[in-house]
Structure 1
Amino acid sequence: MPRPLTLHEDRLFPADAGARAIARRLHAEVKGLPIISPHGHTDPAWFAGDAPFPNATELLLAPDHYLYRMLYSQGVRLESLGVPSRSGPSGADPRKAWRTFAAHWKLFRGTPSSLWLTHVFVEVFGLDVALSPATADLYFDTINAKLATDAFRPRALFERFNIEALATTESPSDTLEHHRAIRASGWAGRVITAYRPDPVIDAEHEDFARAMERFATLSGEDVTTWRGYLEAHRVRRAAFKEAGATSTDHGHPTARTADLTAAEAEALFQVVVSGKATPEQAELFRAQMLTEMARMSLDDGLVMQLHPGSFRNHNAWLHARFGRDKGADIPTPTDYVRALKPLLDRYGNERDLSLIVFTLDESAYARELAPLAGHYPILKLGPAWWFHDSPEGMRRFREQTTETAGFYNTVGFNDDTRAFLSIPARHDVARRVDAGFLARLVVEHRLDEDDARDLLVDLTYNLPRQAYRLDHGQPGKPVPGAREHSP
């Protein structure tokens, strides 16, 4: 007999009865607020074409490295899960792949993936029995049948999820055609882009040369010269703003920044474009470009995001066979105090610049990031990220940063996901965890419940809107605070 599947109404709330009651009241105030998703990796083509999602495997399993990295760690081949490789789409039968997933579902007990997917199964698809080998086909058929209906097309789900704004992430060599199609369609859903220049900044990126060629074509600039290269960034940033972008995003290996002289920067650039840069020169160029991006953000008002500290593609064999973003990125220790100093020396006291910093190194929360954000006007702390966007990770973030940075030097929650259907689940987890954290402060008489309620609304809705300038970042409209700035 299949076990029933339910979502407990008190999930993630404190065990203490008094705190749990307060958390319930606080959560009730924000449960229905619109979702602000200012940083993520969903595919804009979904919303441009509004075609039905194909099946459960291609929607929920094959794109989600949170899921298949766990399965891979237990010896399951990615080919059997429908994960595409460098040679093309997977030849795996979607139903067989789903059965393989169901047979290994126990691996996710107690994990964030289990929380998110259970929410999707119950709230989105109305399933009421637990996933298992015996129910795998029931799940597959039920999900597929619903995906074939108009109510489960991308735009209908976007509206059902109460998403107010959703940002995707594209590189400067992206044509942004899907964003243009969304805007031309007349659909009211706000799907915007974010400028991720890594492929044309990171000389160690395997696609660097090809990306630079596309960069030159799309910008119309000569990117073999330092002046032309910088101008190409300005041209593409303007195009991204026209497509709704309010932010940039930088996924560098470290948080290192640099402030070279113009002559030094130009000489370094020539080495980089020659294809002969050493690892140290490639790192220095990335560091210099963060400072250059800050300079440009002062001009055009785009908010900067820095996501450092991941050793990308650690599994060389997997990278060669399947490409990037296949679950083999590993966190590394990350320095911020010294690494950010060149940029902060130049721009740290600007009131019109905003830099949101994330980390995979939790040891930096209390020691470095909270003190930095609690002082410099340009710095804000991004939420618990990637390996740490779990209930425990979110609590650790609040516990270690609040005493020095407070709440208002943070930016609320963003889901940072490719898994579209998990977005409401991830935001629900964040809202519940924050409700529980604030309830504890109320019980300890460190915070009034009315203040806690107002604060939770800010953390859920107001702070992300403000931090990402979504109030005034509409396409074609100037961003308040943008101004002329001479180098």
Structure 2
Amino acid sequence: MPRGLNRHVPMTLRLDPDRLLPVDPTTREVARRLYALVAGAPIVSPHGHVDPHLLLDDEPFPDPATLFIRYDHYVTRLLHADGVSFATLGVPDASGAEQVGEPREAWRAFCSRWRLFAGTASGYWLAHAFGTLFGIDEQPSAENADALYDRIAAQLERPEMRPRALFSRFGIDVLATTDDPMDDLAAHRALADDPTFSGRVLPTFRPDAYIDPLAPGFRDKVAALAAWGGHAADDYPAYVASLEARRRHFVEHGAVSADFGVREPYSIDLGAERAGELFAKAVAGTIDAAEARDFLGHMLLESARMSVDDGLVMTIHPGVHRNHSQSTFDRFGPDTGHDIPIPAEFVQNLRPLLERHGNDPRLHLVLFTIDETTYSREIAPLAGFYRSVFIGAPWWFLDAPDAVQRFRAAVTETAGFSRGSGFIDDTRAFLSIPARHDMSRRLDAAFLARLVAEGRLDEESAAEIVVDMVGAQPRKVFRL
């Protein structure tokens, strides 16, 4: 019987040294040389969701299930689709209908379903972490679940597996977090002032819940901002001034960007009077959906103006129907795997913003998408003309090997390599950061090697480009 069909014989979890590189031997040799130039380069991560307290507190990771499953909705969504309850996976149920299971139970459910992750980006990243950090060389299964759990748990107790030690081991030079505008950023200040910590951990201004009248908690957020600013909650000019002041607070604490997770990249100039009218309706709770769309579009335009003034790079992550399953959201909250991509249109939606600020060198505008159809049709052409526009790296459902290669093919012929953002890992899963960056470097080496093999690029130029894409390019785009 072939070994792979015998569930009682552990299958090998082997990291191929040439993974993701071209199959053709000649092209693979070029890719190997290019990848070697960047394999050990420092990691620049200008957008992500790691909690800064993870590094400030530097506590051991609690257990394998919490580390790899509980907070990684790439993982939980597929397990849920296969019938595993959120309670089993450690996600608390607000209704109290189910009690959260033990971490080992979640781990067993994961290992027994390892086959679900075959061919997925999640499976690739997990295999990388298991192999490089824990020396695991066999595929998880129902039979070895407890042994793997105990092996990982024992290693998590070692000092070299604490967050700060891993930060250094991963070679992270810059790590950006994502933060509420009213955050005091004390954790970031403490890390910056700590002489025993040499990395840069930068906050990112994320004002969605303060500028979108339909966002959960909008009125409470605006009231908190007003209380901080000492003005009435429905005072529109004071509201704008308070947002500007909070942005300055972030700049003072090292922030380089402001991020916008809007449903669509819609911008419109309402004028101060109409914007003030809609803001008053939003605060009163009487605004309708069309008016809310216009107010958010106006605030996106206002935010671009603020970025021109204070220098924060503006990143837009649109095209997601968040919390698609209302019943799941009500019971288990956000970030539980049911955010679903939707189409996004950029050319007309962003025109008011680009008419005003598109060629202003003081604005850096990074456009992300999870609608692949927009790469070659909209985003690359916009970035190929407007001085302010840069192409965001493949994000979320597209940050996977084949999708990354499609992205490179879609944007390079129109905008080249200089208009890209550099790789963005955009993750909460701290241990996946090196796996994601290594994946990107291998894929860039593979893409460039093909151009060299086809006679479209010389290898010396390819070598300069592959190095720039992991260092100089993200530093330039994000003003690092």
Corresponding residue to 1:141 among 144, 147, 150: 150
Q: Secondary structure at the match of 1:164?
A: strand
After the TM superposition, which residues 261-272 of structure 1 pair with which residues of structure 2 at under 5 Å, given as runs? Answer: 261-272=271-282
Q: Partners in 1 of 2:419 and 2:464 — Cα distance?
A: 16
Point out where structure 2 has 5 or more consecutive residues left out of the alignment. 1-8
Corresponding residue to 1:435 among 445, 450, 472: 445
- Give the direction of change, closer, same or farther, for the CA distance of 1:358–1:33 in structure 2 (3 Å limit): same
Q: CA deviation at 1:222?
A: 4.1
Q: Secondary structure at the match of 1:172?
A: coil
Counterpart check, 1:112 vs 2:128: no
Partners of 2:14 and 2:137 within 8 A in 1: yes
Q: Partners in 2 of 1:411 and 1:208 — Cα distance?
A: 31
User: Which residue identity lines up with residue 62 of structure 1 in the other structure?
Assistant: R
Counterpart check, 1:414 vs 2:424: yes
Q: CA deviation at 1:462?
A: 1.1
Residue 95 of structure 1 is matched in structure 2 by 104
Q: Partners in 1 of 2:230 and 2:457 — Cα distance?
A: 56
Residue 68 of structure 2 is matched in structure 1 by 60
Q: Partners in 1 of 2:338 and 2:61 — Cα distance?
A: 26
After the TM superposition, which residues 127-138 of structure 1 pair with which residues of structure 2 at under 5 Å, given as runs? Answer: 127-138=136-147
Counterpart check, 1:353 vs 2:357: no
User: Which residue identity lines up with residue 226 of structure 1 in the other structure?
Assistant: Y
Q: Secondary structure at the match of 1:165?
A: strand
After the TM superposition, which residues 177-216 of structure 1 pair with which residues of structure 2 at under 5 Å, given as runs? Answer: 177-186=186-195, 187-216=197-226
User: Which residue identity lines up with residue 10 of structure 1 in the other structure?
Assistant: D
Counterpart check, 1:311 vs 2:321: yes
Partners of 1:147 and 1:153 within 8 A in 2: yes
* Cα deviation code 1:299-345 (max 9, x no counterpart): 11000000001011111110111111111111111111100001011
Q: Partners in 1 of 2:417 and 2:66 — Cα distance?
A: 38
- Give the direction of change, closer, same or farther, for the CA distance of 1:46–1:219 in structure 2 (3 Å limit): farther
Partners of 1:221 and 1:231 within 8 A in 2: no
* Cα deviation code 1:146-192 (max 9, x no counterpart): 11121111111100000000000011132323212222333222111
After the TM superposition, which residues 238-249 of structure 1 pair with which residues of structure 2 at under 5 Å, given as runs? Answer: 238-249=248-259
Q: Partners in 1 of 2:190 and 2:143 — Cα distance?
A: 42
Q: Partners in 1 of 2:450 and 2:99 — Cα distance?
A: 48
- Runs of 4+ displaced beyond 3 Å: 84-90, 217-223
Q: CA RMSD in A?
A: 1.4
Q: Secondary structure at the match of 2:247?
A: helix
- Give the direction of change, closer, same or farther, for the CA distance of 1:217–1:149 in structure 2 (3 Å limit): farther
Q: Secondary structure at the match of 1:156?
A: helix
User: Which residue identity lines up with residue 405 of structure 1 in the other structure?
Assistant: A
- Give the direction of change, closer, same or farther, for the CA distance of 1:84–1:468 in structure 2 (3 Å limit): farther
Partners of 1:56 and 1:98 within 8 A in 2: yes
* Cα deviation code 1:374-399 (max 9, x no counterpart): 00111000011100000111111111
Q: CA deviation at 1:48?
A: 1.2
Residue 36 of structure 1 is matched in structure 2 by 44
After the TM superposition, which residues 227-246 of structure 1 pair with which residues of structure 2 at under 5 Å, given as runs? Answer: 227-246=237-256
* Cα deviation code 1:246-304 (max 9, x no counterpart): 00000000010011222121112111111111111111111111111111111110000
Partners of 1:155 and 1:189 within 8 A in 2: no
Partners of 1:175 and 1:218 within 8 A in 2: no
Partners of 2:91 and 2:100 within 8 A in 1: no
Partners of 1:358 and 1:384 within 8 A in 2: yes
User: Which residue identity lines up with residue 382 of structure 1 in the other structure?
Assistant: G
Q: Secondary structure at the match of 2:190?
A: helix
Residue 473 of structure 1 is matched in structure 2 by none
Partners of 1:411 and 1:467 within 8 A in 2: yes
Partners of 1:221 and 1:232 within 8 A in 2: no
Partners of 2:61 and 2:156 within 8 A in 1: yes
User: Which residue identity lines up with residue 270 of structure 2 in the other structure?
Assistant: L
Residue 28 of structure 2 is matched in structure 1 by 20
Q: Partners in 1 of 2:42 and 2:106 — Cα distance?
A: 34
User: Which residue identity lines up with residue 24 of structure 1 in the other structure?
Assistant: R
Residue 275 of structure 1 is matched in structure 2 by 285
Q: Relative to structure 2, which stretch is displaced further, 171-180 or 200-209?
A: 171-180
Residue 255 of structure 1 is matched in structure 2 by 265
User: Which residue identity lines up with residue 274 of structure 2 in the other structure?
Assistant: E
Q: CA deviation at 1:223?
A: 4.0
Q: Relative to structure 2, which stretch is displaced further, 445-454 or 267-276?
A: 267-276
Q: Partners in 1 of 2:99 and 2:382 — Cα distance?
A: 46
Partners of 2:89 and 2:100 within 8 A in 1: no
Structure 1 length as normaliser, TM-score?
A: 0.94
Point out where structure 1 has 5 or more consecutive residues left out of the alignment. 471-487
Corresponding residue to 1:367 among 367, 371, 377: 377
Q: Relative to structure 2, which stretch is displaced further, 404-413 or 261-270?
A: 261-270
User: Which residue identity lines up with residue 180 of structure 2 in the other structure?
Assistant: S
Residue 469 of structure 1 is matched in structure 2 by 479
User: Which residue identity lines up with residue 325 of structure 2 in the other structure?
Assistant: N
Residue 163 of structure 1 is matched in structure 2 by 172
Equivalent pairs, count = 470
- Give the direction of change, closer, same or farther, for the CA distance of 1:206–1:46 in structure 2 (3 Å limit): same
Structure 2 length as normaliser, TM-score?
A: 0.96
Counterpart check, 1:339 vs 2:349: yes
Residue 4 of structure 2 is matched in structure 1 by none
Residue 483 of structure 1 is matched in structure 2 by none
User: Which residue identity lines up with residue 116 of structure 2 in the other structure?
Assistant: L
Q: Secondary structure at the match of 2:379?
A: helix
Residue 124 of structure 1 is matched in structure 2 by 133
User: Which residue identity lines up with residue 96 of structure 1 in the other structure?
Assistant: E
